[in-house]
Structure 1
């Protein structure tokens, strides 16, 4: 007698709830859309209380106020993408600013050379931190200890009076320089044409490989980029011209966008943050990617510190202190970069900085207390992290999928 086994069919999967399907779509989609919605709500609320909130002058002030946070947040994004965190970069920005100001103002070194020395110093310090982290010490502990050490180092870098004034020097022109409207529109036109040409190149590459695509994929992004660039120039040149810090932020964002989305470095960056062990097995140089991310953070911290010192017309023991570190991390996370690594984009830095800066600017404009600003910023950060946790595990509830 032969025995036959009847294959049993797998039980049908239970239909997923609409909430679960929505979470899946949101996790795969563009996380910048909820950020833009939140930003629009913030602007509407403050504009309803004071029409001056969306005036050309106040928008220009807002962009200048968030420049330091946006640049520092850009460096934080690179570190978060590889699954690490940094708590020392704000104080590092103050140390680099003190070094650059001391060399340019007190020692008479050319401004360009002083800036280069400060950037190299920032990268050297973050390189040391990264080497300790790759040795196996958690980045939270390393950068927390680094923050304390840097608080002492700034006292060493500053002169005996613990302050350096840059008023009336070329250092002050970093933040006070304004690019004329004509030149600003020309830069916007060049950037738009370059982006359109790049999209056209990608379109032809896809056609050559037999991939079906539509010319709309070239037209719509180019039009959107042109509208954003020319609209931004129109608004920001209503006063004296396009502020130099805004141009610096834009250039750094574009460079970061290219390397994170169009190069092998970007692929490795997200692979390390997504699954470090799998990336290691695939041949990705994990330790090197962590080092690169911290080096970029060091450069961003130095640039952010020098712009802030130029705006404040000086450096002191409080440079890089206050809520700057919190704001930079909050900007990166609120903008859509995951604390768990592997998800996010460099645009998170500017979007999150706009959200955090818009709250601070509105509170100051309306004459509200500082407590309101802290409450609002903290609440937005907690909500952003909670949303990230939900999208990461794919469920509203712990232990469920």
Structure 2
């Protein structure tokens, strides 16, 4: 079942007043053009740091940036699914640390095969969020449940760690997850396959709309194919100049593609947006609201586990600080900055990537210029507040505050 989540603006009927320009602009930014302000901000960030240091946009630094944002983006992907149904999560960062520690215990200490150890970490993540989701659908606010879950996970992390509170994964198969590079030839082949699939999906969606759209379908498909081709192959060429495409980046893109398919091309996706848009109406329409909430948290649990494994492989160790620091704040900020609404029902999985790029670009630029960490915190917090303020304006359709 193909589902198009982009809002459709109907033409005004004869004799009826047309939609005000302000409302149409607000509707566009809340739907198909939500990513445009984010891309503009991202471009301005890149231009600023490039003007301060020309090394900022070199292929080596861009590759380094892509590796820095992978963990945040994967975690933010799970957060997006939870936000879409109108919930919030504060425990997934700590869950990533616990899942990574369990994986390291199984792979390094117990010498399990790597794939089986990773599966064990994912199962831990799924089980924990399943319990959280059951409590949430029972009626306890997700903010409280996940805040308590975060505290529980902080204690659980100390339980699963060995007495020395660290596990070194350097020199093992675990470490190869982050260090593996895919050669340029294979990377370009994968990019070509993905691009062809994208073009085929776009064409099939236009054909499904009927022959009336045939004159514009070719132009629309052609433009989107050209733009996507330039972006996809350009990114791959840049990232493969430094020893090849990093495996964590491929993992992130694969998860985003799977998430995009399920949210836009399946009944699950339409139910997801319906629950987040109006939970009571979705309930009356026969949509299993509680089940959709549970499914969203299960996606978050899987994303948390994968994010923790990738981060542990990149840092070559797990410790009592795994999953801590600003990771949770950055993941939520990335989802919101990228376009996912805190009020539910709006946003796409690509918000995780866009938001992580914005947050990661600021952090990378601050580090490259040798600025203090205070500047990084000020910038990240300011961008988050601005993104939420924009979301509030879009939600109520006015710059003026509501009258009470």
Indicate the TM-score class for this superposition, using the shorter chain for normalisation.
over 0.9
Asked if 1:263 corresponds to 2:266, the answer is yes
**Given the alignment of the two structures, is residue 351 of structure 1 paired with residue 354 of structure 2, yes or no?**
yes
Change (3 A) 1:293 1:174: same
SS at match of 2:242: coil
Matched with 1:8 is: none
Aligned ranges 1:1-400 → 2 under 5 Å? 22-207=25-210, 212=214, 213-399=216-402
Q: For 1:17-56, what per-residue CA distance to the aligned partner results, in whole angstroms no more than 9, with x for missing partners? A: 8656643443344110000000000001111100000011
What is the CA–CA distance in structure 1 between the aligned matches of 2:103 and 2:122, rounded to whole Å? 9
3-state SS of 1:214 partner:
helix
Q: Distance in 2 between matches of 1:121 and 1:256?
A: 21
- Distance in 2 (CA, whole Å) between partners of 1:168 and 1:25 is 50
Give the whole-Å Cα distance in 2 for the aligned partners of 1:231 and 1:380.
27
> What is the alpha-carbon distance in structure 1 between the residues aligned to residue 333 and residue 169 of structure 2?
30
Tell me the equivalent position of 2:12.
Answer: none
TM-align CA RMSD:
1.9
1:15 shift after superposition: 11
Task: Give a deviation string over 1:260-298, Cα, whole Å, max 9, x none.
Answer: 000000000000000000000000010000000000000
CA 1:187–1:20: 2 relative to 1, 3 Å: closer
The alpha-carbon distance between structure 1 residues 222 and 15, as it changes in their structure 2 partners (threshold 3 A), is closer
Instruction: Determine the C-alpha separation between the residues in 1 that align with 2:276 and 2:262.
Output: 16
What's the offset of the Cα at 1:227?
1.4
Contact 2:30 2:346 in 1 (8 A): no
Structure 1 residues 181-190 or 222-231, which shifts more? 222-231
TM-score by length of 2: 0.93
Change (3 A) 1:15 1:263: closer
Render the CA deviation track for 1:297-347: whole Å, top value 9, x for unaligned. Answer: 000000000000000000000000000000000000000000000000001
Cα pair distance change 1:28/1:174, threshold 3 Å? closer
Query: Would the alpha carbon gap of residues 21 and 258 (structure 1) be closer, same or farther in structure 2, given more than 3 Å must change?
Result: closer
Label 1:259 to 1:28 Cα distance change in 2 as closer, same or farther (>3 A).
Answer: closer
- Pick the structure with greater CA Rg: 1
Q: Which residue of 2 aligns with 1:5?
A: none
Contact 2:169 2:313 survives alignment (8 Å) = yes
State the TM-score, normalizing by the size of structure 1: 0.94
Any stretches of 5+ residues in structure 2 without a counterpart?
Answer: 1-15
Q: How many residues align?
A: 389
- Residue 14 (structure 1) shift: 11
How much has 1:118 moved relative to structure 2? 0.6
- CA 315–28 in structure 1, closer or farther in 2 if over 3 Å, else same: closer
- Aligned mates of 1:316, 1:24 — CA distance in 2: 46
* Unaligned segments of structure 1, at least 5 residues: 1-12
Provide the rounded CA distance (Å) in 1 between the counterparts of 2:198 and 2:357.
24
